[in-house]
Amino acid sequence: MSERRARPASKNPMKSAWRRALTPAQPPEPPAPAPRVPDAAVEQPEVASVVQAALYRDGVRVSSPATLAETYRELRDQPSGMAWIGLARPTEAELLSLAAEFDLHPLAVEDAMEAHQRPKLERYGDTLFVVLRAARYLDAPEEVDFGELHVFVGPDFVITVRHGAAPDLSAVRRRMEETPELLKLGPEAVLYAILDAVVDGYEPVVAGVQIDIDEIETEVFRGDPEVSRRIYELSREMVEFQRATRPLVGMLHGLMAGFSKYGTDEELQRYLRDVADHVTHTSERVDGFRQALTEILTVNATLVTQQQNAEMRALAEAGFEQNEEIKKISSWAAILFAPTLVGTIYGMNFEHMPELSWSFGYPFAIGLMGVVCVSLYVIFKRRDWL
């Protein structure tokens, strides 16, 4: 979770409690993803889809049922309690069981089963259904991994259905349990804490993407041939990031619009407005990243075109120089061919050749060779072949 802006000290114990609950002891360093703190009570999704279930009364955990059936029974026995059930990739039977027990709307249950939903907020009677897209930055492959979280919030229950590795809600549960004065505010407080965790999880991603863009700019001007692929892949991730953050802005404003109607606690209102500020800032950064990547891709295409033009020009110049050399070689070959031709004719040694008995035959042959060579040289020289 990110470090929040400094606020003036307050004597209000509730505000101090909010700061203690929503500010971790050591904020993660970007671009590394938020550290995962193991929870002894958390089971691996491969073993059971119910990650953790707990019942709370007045902000204090009173029991930790091992199964959904036990959770239902204990919640019925404690009318003033609140159930917080966390699931990871649940089965259809488990979701149908939850729907029957808590009267969840069939459309919301269907969305939770299928996953791959866009972020949204829906109200079904007294139950609120929220879909969130969490994100984390993976250092080794230098890519963004997205997860999906579905949250059902009712009068006395909170159900989280996680699809993907992110987000890790065990830290949210632990921080809320450490501040019972907040947890006793009910399911709304849990929802807002989850929203804050998801939004703060975006900040290491933003920092990691910023570093990637800086590296890409260096690679572009260095002429790295693989940079186009990296730009394209990062652009696709930014499209996914936009799909995660843009709807969240409207969702939070929708929740704020219902403060008066649903009697939201005043401190929760401040908290939600702070989360809305963070997600608005993140959404603007993501929009800027996508625009920057588009411009970088344009610059890279221009540089690649310039490089190709330079290579073509170099090839053309090399071809021209090669043609000039061929002209010179051909010219000298023609000049040398003339005396060879004359010498060949007079070297045939036929008996009846007029010039063989002529006393000026040899000087004539030499002179003919010279005249032909000089004539060819003058012709080639005038044509700039030599």
Alpha-carbon gap, residue 279 to 153, rounded angstroms: 21
Helix ranges restricted to H, 117-265: 170-178, 180-183, 187-200, 202-222, 227-257, 259-262
* pLDDT surpasses 70 at 26: no
What's the confidence (pLDDT) of residue 10? 39
pLDDT band at 333 (very low <50, low <70, confident <90, very high): confident
Kindly state the tokens that stand for 329.
């070689």
Q: What pLDDT is attached to residue 158? A: 94
3-state secondary structure of 128: strand
Q: Is 101 helix (H, G, I), strand (E, B) or coil?
A: helix
Q: What percent of the residues of the chain are helix, what percent strand, and what percent coil, each to the nearest 5?
A: 60, 15, 25
Which residue did the predictor score with more confidence, 129 or 303?
129
Query: For 172-197, what is the mean pLDDT?
Result: 89
pLDDT digits (tens, 9 = 90+) for 37-54: 344 333 333 335 677 889
Position 181 pLDDT exceeds 70:
yes
CB atoms within 10 A of CB 280: 16
Q: Are 267 and 18 in contact (CB under 8 A)?
A: yes
How far, in whole angstroms, is CA 276 from its chain's centroid? 23
pLDDT tier for residue 263 given thresholds of 50, 70 and 90: low
Burial degree of 161 (CB within 10 A; 0-12, 13-18, 19+): buried
In the predicted model, what is the mean pLDDT of residues 224-240? 88
Neighbours of 56 (CB within 10 A): 23
Which is more confident, 269 or 188?
188
C-alpha pair distances (Å), 79 with each of 55, 213, 280? 11, 53, 38
Of 209 and 324, more confident: 209
What pLDDT score was predicted for residue 372? 85
Threshold 0.75, pTM exceeds = no
Res 15: pLDDT: 44
